[in-house]
Amino acid sequence: MKNTALITGASSGIGLELARIHAEKGGNLVLVARSTDKLEELKYELEKKHGISVYIIGKDLSKPNAAIEVYAEIKQQDITIDFLINNAGFGDSGLFFDSAWEKQEQMINLNILTLTHFTRLFLKDMVERKNGKILNIASTAAFQPGPTMAVYCATKSYVLSFSEAINNEVKEFGVTVTALCPGATTSGFQAAASLQGSNLFEGKKLPTSMDVAKYGYKAMIKGKKVVIHGLMNRIMANSIRFIPRLLVIKVTRMILEKKN
């Protein structure tokens, strides 16, 4: 029997590569993103290349009730979700007091509320079947406060904490929840978050979206709890607990700010 994976934010970046990886392994897909045109292209590519089934749903997941609407449509189609991959999310850069509230609200809705609602909806089904895997995309931003990206870092800290707690709750039922924490990656994220020219990206040789997707998919299959992509990212994330908090915040701001 083919495993079916639901992937949010599947039209680009890590989500798109996760879809390609799952399809290559012979699994069916449910792909959700705002861009229906991009999903149609990906559906054609994967079905033709791998002979699998791809069901697409065009949806803005930052909108209220988006998760329950997607869940209801999947139920109506009689599709069982074996793997839930909560990849959809975005960031924003700048001083919080000077930011557009609408964008911050959308970020909280997408990065936290929708992810949590999807997890709640599909987790109950997985627990009843005593089988299933969830991959939540967090970030190395989850390990420290991030001046100039305050809301984004806070949302990813939530994803990490939430995923660890839920994994503990459901592992006895044969279900696992994995938090994937990538660092800076070559994807569309930096443009969407207005991070071009920041110390985080400028002049760095970064992993590709496929590098991160392969690492995260493998960790999900193994049922790992938390995985941080990249040796230096792992060292930094784990060393933060030994560094004074004020210094961590100061250095983080230096990294996130744009070069003059």
SS3 state at 58:
strand
Active site residues: 152
Residues in the chain: 260
Spell out the alpha helix ranges (H) of the chain: 13-24, 36-50, 66-76, 101-108, 115-129, 150-170, 189-192, 209-222, 231-239, 245-256
Token couple for 46:
């994967």
Burial class (CB in 10 A: 0-12, 13-18, 19+), 223: middle
C-alpha angle 67-15-236 in degrees, rounded to nearest 5: 105
